[in-house]
Amino acid sequence: MSTRKTLVVAGHGMVGHRFVQAAIERGLTERYDVIVYGEEPREAYDRVALTSYYEVGADALSFLPGGQYEDPRAKVVLNTQVTAIDRDAKTVALSDGTTQAYDVLVLATGAAPFVPPVPGKDLQNVFVYRTIEDLQAIEEAAKTAKAGVVIGGGLLGLEAANALHQLEVETHVVELAPRLMAVQVDDAGGATLKRHIERLGLTVHTGVMTEYIEGYTDAELVDEDAEGNTDGKVSGLKFKDNDEVLPVDIVIFSAGIRPRDQLARDCGLEVAERGGILVSPNMQTSDESIYAIGECAAPGGRMYGLVAPGYSMAEVAADHLLGGAGEFLGADMSTKLKLMGVDVASFGDAFATTEGSLELVYSDAVAGIYKKLVISEDCTQLLGGILVGDASSYGILRPMVSSGMALPENPEDLILPASRGTAQIGMPDEAQVCSCMNVTKGEICKAIHDEELTDVPAIKQCTKAGTVCGSCTNILKNLLTEEMEKAGKAVSKAICEHFDHSRQELFDLIKIGKLASFDAVVAAHGTGRGCDICKPAIASILASQFNGHVLDKKTVGSLQDTNDAYLANLQKNGTYSVVPRIPGGEITPEKLIVIGEVARDFGLYTKITGGQRIDMFGARVEQLPDIWKRLVEAGFESGHAYGKSLRTVKSCVGSEWCRYGVQESVAMAIELELRYRGLRSPHKLKGGVSGCARECAEARGKDFGVIATEKGWNLYVGGNGGAIPAHAQLLASDVDSATLMKYLDRFLMYYIRTADRLQRTSTWMDSLDGGIVRVKEIVVDDALGLGAELEAEMAQHIDSYFDEWKATLEDPEKLARFVSFINAPGTPDPNISFTEDRGQIRPVNFDEPVSLGSSIPVGAPQ
Amino acid sequence: MTSTTTVSGGFIPVCRLDQLEVERGATALVHGQAVAVFRTYDDQVFALGNYDPFSKSSVIARGIVGTRGETPFVASPVYKQAFDLRTGACLDDEGVSIPSYEVKVEDGVVLVGPRLKHPKRG
Ligand code: SRM
Ligand SMILES: Cc1cc2nc3c(=O)[nH]c(=O)nc-3n(C[C@H](O)[C@H](O)[C@H](O)COP(=O)(O)OP(=O)(O)OC[C@H]3O[C@@H](n4cnc5c(N)ncnc54)[C@H](O)[C@@H]3O)c2cc1C
Ligand code: SF4
Ligand code: FES
């Protein structure tokens, strides 16, 4: 009903870009036309990675290749400066002479390098280090220059010096303060850094003041630059209290940055004492309709010269414009970087400013390592620290500061080199549990404790651990159990909010109650309509007990995760992979040719898997039936790469060919793979068979591994590779083939009955009281008297096996799912696109900027 | 941006209700865009954008449908983030949401309409 409003953004830098992205993602463009003015000749780029311009070029740094957003309601205008703001008229004046009205104005003008009023600063070949144009100019000048100097030994100065050094110019760094990186490190750390840098061939001058820059007066060396300046070129640098002039042809100023707040000053907005546009916690300036974000803003009077706080400001401003309550509450200014190959990190109270704090220092001048920890007076807490030369413990130490965790008894162990710090620091608390999201054990335990978390999904939501690849989920679960036991609380075994039961309990309840569908199970034992956790788990239980078709609508059809639901593995771009079964890895030339032909005809990427078979990637959902029709006709069947079920039984070549082999390992592997194919289980199952003790099939890295002996077979169980590798343990030795299979039937069925969801055989065995000894009692000695029953269940599975893909192809109702669009089955989804690498297709990577669903226009925008 | 083949006040017919599997989604092409249409256990029908902002792929329709408390949701099949079927709000990440659309069933035909506006969250 209301008319569209106009939102003007001044500055298309890192933060301005992030803001526009947020505006699009969150639907702000539903209400506003967004216009961004950028003064630079190019769209926003990664300024943090500016130095890599010399390696990768400008295009690789761009955040918005093409220069426009996908959402047509956000427009970028480059090469145009906002020159003035008229707050009464609500317009901005532009460098092209026009004006633009706004309802909301967002200032994201960033900062400018500070150039002190040194005489000679306007000479040619005096540069700053902020934009791609600056770098281009420096590169040009470096072509003829012999020596250069960077004025400023801070973080950015050193980066500029590094660039100059890389451009093969003799490089000097001049710093007024007595040490390098004065803001981040202390004297000793600075000295270590200085030695490192000097070793690389740069010259460092600390504690010196620049008096003036000398220029040539010789007319030959004075030519006109782009702006028509005819000032001479740089010839040297003169320090105070030193008569000798340092001969240089290039000067780069990197003596700090100043927020670009002039626009705001000119129109009477409040600015902070030390510069920067004063903003409220929701990023509004003293004029409600004007926001300021990024380096030009000063929330609480403080300016932040890093990009992460700028990004938070962008999100907060977008949120506030949408009526949200987000606030910017300061930021962690910890830094870790690699400067010219030297690790430097500074975090927390690095300068020991806290009352009574103590410093622990480790320094090895020869190795160029300096480490300092600042700890509280009572030695119980880490407050901050500085690491130079070796910052490998940054990941451990920084979280200790932020989490306020107790220090170990000998805190010096934290900075001693591993060889000397013999005392085992009995606290893997700092260990990174989730490498995807960089979450430590300490952080997780703290969340469990403080937020009183009682299940894994809550931990995921709270800490973000486990939300990317999921491989740390089991560790999360163990931590939860540990923490709750410590607190004397019972750990809920409930698999999710819908069932108060563990998987094992559900297995028994379903069996006893003969419950054959999700509806029946939920009616009898659950609440709600299930979720992505209980549904696949129940589907797996129903499949192990009844072995119906996984696409059967009446029983399990809606329960399957996408892989099972489409009998193929989902890939990152929404396409699927196809893996036909190749039992034991043995395949005839004819069948190989068929795979080649199918892959070629459907344009699929083809790769040999780690499981001794062939994977074809990039199949669109609507192509799957046609692909499988060809494969089934040629005698292939589903390889269940998508299911929590038997994957492969890996084989070595064995006694039929190998001069060492003592049994036919290939034949055994094939027999086992065919016996257990299609068997649904709590997690995937893998097997291996080796023809002798040389173990070429890596059988002991499998859930069940069989190794040939002179007398028969050794059977190992509970091995796996993956995130937490485990060696399989010996269950029985020198058994004949029949006994081997009897034991395996029992073992697998008992695992299927009693394991938890997504628990592999190794972790399941660990969780049994007695571990392998208990498994032996049950499987070999039949201590529970379950043997015959377990074997019968397996026999039933083997008898009722059928190929899921063949059955699907024969059933139009099941095939109905395999379309791109329900109302346009033949139209391929335009969101899927491929590019080529090494002669085969691969998905196009949708890196930033993200094209988000919120730009899908349906109906007229209101 | 798109030329709109508008039928009955911006609603586009996409399929018959009985073509939709209960507690699963189907992808429909609406104005050239992929829209995920869901039918829940109690025969309500919902429509969301098919684009999953986390995996950056067009897959939402292929997720598992269920409930969290009273909230009907679909879990993205890629990284499993849950989205409220009614609003498109992500239940696992506050700042994120995907579009949701008006849907109605007339004479057994499912029609997808304009994007829904939701009262602000948070
Ligand atoms: C294709 C393949 C990689 C390859 O190109 O070689 C592969 C690919 C995937 N693996 Fe794997 N794994 C493959 C061999 C392996 C192996 C090697 C082996 O089997 O000898 C391992 C280590 C051995 C093991 O499992 O113990 C392996 C350990 C994993 C794990 C970690 C399991 C664990 O217990 O920690 C996962 C994650 C999971 O299952 O939860 C995984 C999951 C996956 C998934 C299914 C991830 C996913 O959900 O998208 C990948 C997609 C498969 C697909 O087709 O789209 N894959 N994966 C291999 C297929 C083998 C096959 O023919 O079926
Ligand atoms: C070499 C280098 C290395 C860095 N390394 C790191 C690092 O490791 N980690 C880190 O956190 N930060 C680093 N930074 C800092 C980081 O780049 C900045 O914090 C970040 O770019 C700030 O974003 P911004 O959008 O506020 O400013 P900018 O990215 O500078 O964007 C502001 C934009 O607005 C334009 N503009 C200004 N005024 C106007 C106007 N009136 N009209 C139109 N356009 C205008 C400018 O031309 C500019 O394009 C580094 C910076 C440099 C230069
Ligand atoms: S495991 Fe033994 S039999 Fe098998 S290939 Fe290796 S050496 Fe030969
Ligand atoms: S390691 Fe935790 S999600 Fe990948």
Locate the domains of chain B by residue range.
Answer: 8-115
β-pairing, A74-77 vs A32-37, is parallel
To which H or E segment does residue A279 belong?
strand A277-279
ipTM over 0.90: no
pLDDT for A387 equals 86
pLDDT for A154 equals 85
Q: What CATH architecture applies to the domain A646-799?
A: 2-Layer Sandwich (3.30)
pLDDT for A711 equals 94
pLDDT in tens, A372-384: 888 888 888 888 8
Q: Residue A304 above 50 pLDDT?
A: yes
State the span(s) of chain A assigned CATH 1.10.10.1100.
427-489
Q: Mean pLDDT over residues A681-694, rounded?
A: 95
Q: Do A854 and B117 touch (CB under 8 A)?
A: no
Q: Mean pLDDT over residues A637-665, rounded?
A: 95
In which band, very low, low, confident or very high, does the pLDDT at A403 lie, cut at 50, 70 and 90?
low
Scanning the structure block, which residue is given the tokens 């932040």? Answer: A304
pLDDT in tens, A540-590: 888 888 777 777 766 666 777 778 889 999 998 899 999 999 999 999 999
pLDDT for A57 equals 87
Residues in chain B within 8 Å Cβ distance of A322: 120
> A110: Cβ below 6 Å to ligand 2?
yes
Q: Residue A100 above 60 pLDDT?
A: yes
**What CATH number matches the domain at A5-112+258-321, 3.40.50.300, 3.90.700.10, 3.50.50.60, 3.30.499.10?**
3.50.50.60
State the span(s) of chain A assigned CATH 3.50.50.60.
5-112+258-321, 126-255
pLDDT for A556 equals 65
pLDDT for A277 equals 96
What is the spatial distance between Cα B89 and Cα B94, in angstroms, rounded to a whole number? 8
pLDDT for A468 equals 59
pLDDT for A378 equals 83
pLDDT for A332 equals 65
Please give the residue that has the higher pLDDT: either A219 or B54. B54
pLDDT in tens, B15-48: 999 999 999 999 999 887 899 999 999 989 999 9
Dihedral sign (CA A224, A228, A232, A236): negative
Q: Which ligand is nearest to the CA of A656?
A: 3
What is the spatial distance between Cα A326 and Cα A796, in angstroms, rounded to a whole number? 59
Task: Of A134, A165, A124, give the one whose Cα is nearest residue A249.
Answer: A124
In which band, very low, low, confident or very high, does the pLDDT at A432 lie, cut at 50, 70 and 90?
low
Please say whether the beta carbons of A759 and A703 come within 8 A.
no
Residues 6+ apart with CB under 8 A from A474: A723, A724, A758, A759, A763
pLDDT in tens, A814-859: 898 899 999 988 888 887 888 888 999 988 765 433 332 222 233 3
Task: Give the SS3 label for residue A408.
Answer: coil
pTM of the predicted model as reported, rounded to 2 decimal places: 0.54
pLDDT for A843 equals 87
In chain B, which residue's Cα lies nearest the Cα of A325?
A: B122
Q: Residue A791 above 90 pLDDT?
A: yes
Task: Of A543, A505, A511, give the one whose Cα is nearest residue A526.
Answer: A505
In chain A, which residue's Cα lies nearest the Cα of B71?
A: A528
pLDDT in tens, A720-746: 998 888 999 999 999 999 999 999 999
Whether chain A has a CB inside 8 Å of the CB on B44: the answer is no
Helix H, strand E, coil C: the string for A751-788 is HHHHCCCCCCHHHHHHHCCCHHHHHHHHHCCCCCCCHH
pLDDT for A424 equals 26
In which band, very low, low, confident or very high, does the pLDDT at A336 lie, cut at 50, 70 and 90?
low
Task: Give the SS3 label for residue A312.
Answer: helix
Please say whether the beta carbons of B54 and B92 come within 8 A.
no
State the span(s) of chain A assigned CATH 3.30.390.30.
332-425
pLDDT for A470 equals 57
Going by CATH, does the domain composed of A564-633 fall within 3.40.50.880? no
In which band, very low, low, confident or very high, does the pLDDT at B107 lie, cut at 50, 70 and 90?
very high
Q: Mean pLDDT over residues A705-728, rounded?
A: 94
Residues in chain A within 8 Å Cβ distance of B98: 852-854
In a 13 Å sphere around the CA of A6, the CA atoms on its Cβ side amount to: 12
Residue in B40, B103, B115 to test binding to A, most A beta-carbons within 10 Å: B115
pLDDT in tens, A124-163: 999 999 999 999 999 999 998 989 999 998 878 988 998 8
Fold of A427-489: Arc Repressor Mutant, subunit A (1.10.10)
The CATH number of the structural domain formed by A332-425 is 3.30.390.30
Q: Residue A227 above 60 pLDDT?
A: no
Please say whether the beta carbons of B98 and B48 come within 8 A.
yes
Q: Work out the burial of residue A104: count CB atoms within 10 Å of its CB; fewer than 13 is exposed, 13-18 middle, 19 or more buried.
A: buried
Q: Do A858 and B26 touch (CB under 8 A)?
A: no
pLDDT for B119 equals 53
> A167: Cβ below 6 Å to ligand 1?
no
Q: Residue A717 above 80 pLDDT?
A: yes
pLDDT for A462 equals 87
Q: Residue A249 above 80 pLDDT?
A: yes
To which H or E segment does residue B35 belong?
strand B33-39
β-pairing, A432-434 vs A382-388, is unpaired
Q: Mean pLDDT over residues A397-404, rounded?
A: 70
What is the spatial distance between Cα A594 and Cα A81, in angstroms, rounded to a whole number? 62
What is the spatial distance between Cα A501 and Cα A581, in angstroms, rounded to a whole number? 35
Q: Do B10 and A860 touch (CB under 8 A)?
A: yes
Q: Mean pLDDT over residues A469-495, rounded?
A: 73
Selecting from A820, A856, A862 the residue whose C-beta is nearest the C-beta of B99 gives: A856
User: Which CATH class for the B8-115 domain?
Assistant: mainly beta
Ligand 1 centre and the CA of A641: distance in Å? 8
Instruction: Please report, rounded to a whole number, the percentage of residues in chain A having pLDDT higher than 70.
Output: 89
Q: Give first-to-last CA distance, chain B, whole Å.
A: 31
What is the spatial distance between Cα A134 and Cα A305, in angstroms, rounded to a whole number? 19
Please say whether the beta carbons of B89 and B80 come within 8 A.
no
Total residues found in chain A within this entry:
862
Most confident of A158-172, A206-220, A286-300, A332-346: A286-300
In chain B, which residue's Cα lies nearest the Cα of A819?
A: B27
Residues in chain B within 8 Å Cβ distance of A33: none
Q: Residue B120 above 80 pLDDT?
A: no
In which band, very low, low, confident or very high, does the pLDDT at A365 lie, cut at 50, 70 and 90?
low
The two three-digit tokens of residue A88, written as one number: 């009464």
Question: Tell me, what DSSP letter sits at residue A512?
Answer: H
Beta bridge partners of B36: B27, B48
The CATH number of the structural domain formed by A126-255 is 3.50.50.60
> What mean pLDDT, rounded, does chain A reach?
86
Q: Which of A506-510, A715-719, A790-794, B69-73 has the lowest mean pLDDT?
A: A506-510
pLDDT in tens, A14-60: 999 999 999 998 889 999 999 999 999 999 998 988 888 888 889 88
